């Protein structure tokens, strides 16, 4: 084969490899996921957000219904305020419960909506009143070890 044809094929495969790496990087960073249609903003306050990050998913019944837009600290209440962009196709009752879950054992954290039964719906800009903070594994382990240590001292 001609040297220029081999160089052309090598260049083609290098470009294909770079495109594949770029695609994977965007997938991991949640930057290439489909854009939501018209969105509206909801907020929720949590005592502890764990490893929750901006651009993280907001899910209800396992379905992606929005993305986390911003996370900030409220110095008056000493809570984390999570701002979420929710897809306009989905409306949630006022008594919806927002919890922070982890996908799998060591996966990413996301906000999950557990829908209530109220007939009134959350309006754009509303704050979800009922929240459950992230479960911090280190805190659970230390509480377990502390209780076992206390049980061991009581039996003496």
What does the pLDDT look like over 115-137, one tens digit per residue? Answer: 988 899 999 999 999 998 887 77
Using one digit for the tens of pLDDT, what is the confidence trace for 62-84? 999 999 999 999 999 999 999 99
Report field, pTM of the whole predicted structure over 0.85: no
Q: Where are the domains of the chain?
A: 1-32, 39-142
**How many angstroms separate the CA atoms of 47 and 82, rounded?**
11
């Amino acid at each position: 084969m001609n040297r220029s044809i081999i160089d052309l094929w090598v260049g083609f495969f290098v470009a294909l490899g770079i495109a594949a790496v770029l695609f994977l990087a965007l997938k991991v960073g949640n930057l290439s996921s489909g854009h939501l249609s018209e969105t509206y903003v909801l907020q929720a306050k949590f005592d502890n957000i764990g490893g929750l990050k901006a651009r993280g998913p907001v899910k209800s019944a396992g379905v992606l219904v929005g993305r986390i837009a911003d996370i900030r600290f409220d110095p008056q209440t000493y809570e984390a305020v999570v701002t979420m962009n929710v897809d306009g196709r989905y409306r949630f009752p006022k008594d919806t419960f927002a919890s922070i879950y982890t996908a799998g054992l060591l996966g990413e954290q996301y906000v999950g909506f557990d829908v209530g039964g109220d007939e009134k719906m959350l309006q754009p800009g509303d704050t979800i009143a009922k929240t459950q903070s992230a479960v911090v594994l280190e805190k659970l382990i230390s509480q377990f070890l502390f209780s076992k240590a206390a049980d061991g001292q009581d039996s003496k």
